[in-house]
């Protein structure tokens, strides 16, 4: 197997044996983020495909997620850091009913490496908890993540509840089940402030930078 194939297969097989030496090797050719977005994400997509075909069970997907998390935790130290003054404060949450947090945590790493103070509320976060955190922290924006189809609908509900609470700070949304179109036509109209869709974590950073400019 090539190095790239091996990196993907650690995620697919859910094994960490040999992972660290291969990550070190990969860093000689790629940036930390390229390793994540390339071979590791390719492995995760394959896990999603196999799971969808009933060729993997949840316990196996969990092991794949562990490998992805361990890789990101190791690679984090090699990511570019912008040590300039704080650009803003952002609350992050995976919406109610959804436990997927690898993407959200990647967004946290990238934003905090680039001058943002992040308040990470974790997973399965109901709107009430986001509203409470908003009042306490007074952030510049709210980031919502969700991977399940029902999470897209939960984002609509969350936006409605935030509006009812009188909140109109920009909302940044992302996650596999979401599209730009859904964001624009279904979430946006339910909210008084901006609702912006990010296709990946770097795009999330670009959008955060645009908002904070
Ligand atoms: Co789940 N799962 N899962 N899962 N899982 C999906 C999402 C699924 C598509 C797999 C499939 O069937 N093909 C499917 C959803 C189907 C649907 O809704 N139609 C699914 C399912 C069905 C489920 C369960 C229901 C399974 C079950 O129990 N029977 C269950 C749900 C539990 C729940 O949430 N209530 C479940 C559970 C799990 C595990 C716990 C085993 C594990 C998650 C572990 C964890 O996160 N701690 C897991 C995993 C790993 C996946 C897949 C395989 C991979 C997700 C992932 O981590 N990707 C996933 C299939 C897939 O996505 N291909 C799948 C890597 C990550 C870096 O990408 O999170 O997309 P992602 O983030 C991206 C972008 O989306 C974006 O940036 C990141 C890249 O830079 N982004 C943002 C994300 N959030 C953002 C926020 C932003 C900006 C950008 O701003 C705020």
pLDDT digits (tens, 9 = 90+) for 73-128: 999 999 988 777 789 999 999 999 999 999 999 999 999 999 999 999 999 999 99
What confidence score (pLDDT) does residue 68 get?
96
Task: Reply yes or no on whether 151 is catalytic.
Answer: yes
Q: What pLDDT, on the 0 to 100 scale, is given for residue 82?
A: 79
Å from CA of 147 to ligand 1 middle:
5
> 196 CB under 6 A from ligand 1?
no
d(CA 26, CA 7): 9
Cβ of 147 closer than 6 Å to ligand 1, yes or no, is yes
Helix (H, G, I), strand (E, B) or coil at 182: helix
How high does pLDDT run on average in the chain? 96
Q: Which residues are annotated as a binding site for methylcob(III)alamin?
A: 97-101, 145, 201
Q: How does pLDDT run across 140-154, given as a tens digit for each residue?
A: 999 999 999 999 999
- Distance separating alpha carbons of residues 213 and 209, to the nearest angstrom: 6
Mean per-residue pLDDT, 173-178: 94
State residue 64's pLDDT score.
Answer: 97
- How much is the pTM? 0.95
The response to whether residue 144 sits with its C-beta less than 6 Å from ligand 1 reads yes
Predicted pLDDT at 174: 98
Looking at residue 62, its pLDDT comes to 96
**pLDDT-based confidence at 177, cuts 50/70/90?**
confident
Residue 84 confidence (pLDDT) = 72
Q: What percent of the chain is predicted at pLDDT more than 70?
A: 100
The yes-or-no verdict on residue 22 having pLDDT over 90 is yes
Query: Which residues of the chain form beta strands (DSSP E)?
Result: 88-94, 116-120, 141-145, 171-174, 195-197
Alpha carbon distance 196, 205 (integer Å): 12
What local confidence, expressed as pLDDT, does residue 81 receive?
83
If you ran DSSP here, which 8-state letter would residue 125 be given?
B
100 CA to centre of ligand 1 in angstroms: 5
Given a cut of 80, whether residue 213 has pLDDT beyond it is no
């Amino acid at each position: 197997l090539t190095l790239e194939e091996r990196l993907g297969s650690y995620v697919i097989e859910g094994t960490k044996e040999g992972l660290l030496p291969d990550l070190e090797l990969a860093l000689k050719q790629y940036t930390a983020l390229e390793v994540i977005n390339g071979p590791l994400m390719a492995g995760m997509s394959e896990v999603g495909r196999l799971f969808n075909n009933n060729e993997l069970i949840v316990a196996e997907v969990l092991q794949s997620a562990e490998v992805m998390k361990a890789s990101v935790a190791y690679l984090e130290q090699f990511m570019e850091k912008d040590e300039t003054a704080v650009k803003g404060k952002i609350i992050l949450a995976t919406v109610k009913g959804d436990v997927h947090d690898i993407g959200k945590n990647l967004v946290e790493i990238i934003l905090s490496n680039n001058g943002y103070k992040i308040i990470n509320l974790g997973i399965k976060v109901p709107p009430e908890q986001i509203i409470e955190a908003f009042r306490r922290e007074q952030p510049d924006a709210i980031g919502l993540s969700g991977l399940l189809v029902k999470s897209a609908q939960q984002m609509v509900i969350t936006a409605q509840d935030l509006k009812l609470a009188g909140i109109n700070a920009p909302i940044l949304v992302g996650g596999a089940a979401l599209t730009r179109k859904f964001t624009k036509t279904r979430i946006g109209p339910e909210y008084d402030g901006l609702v912006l869709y990010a296709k990946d974590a770097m795009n999330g950073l670009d959008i955060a930078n645009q908002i904070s400019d």
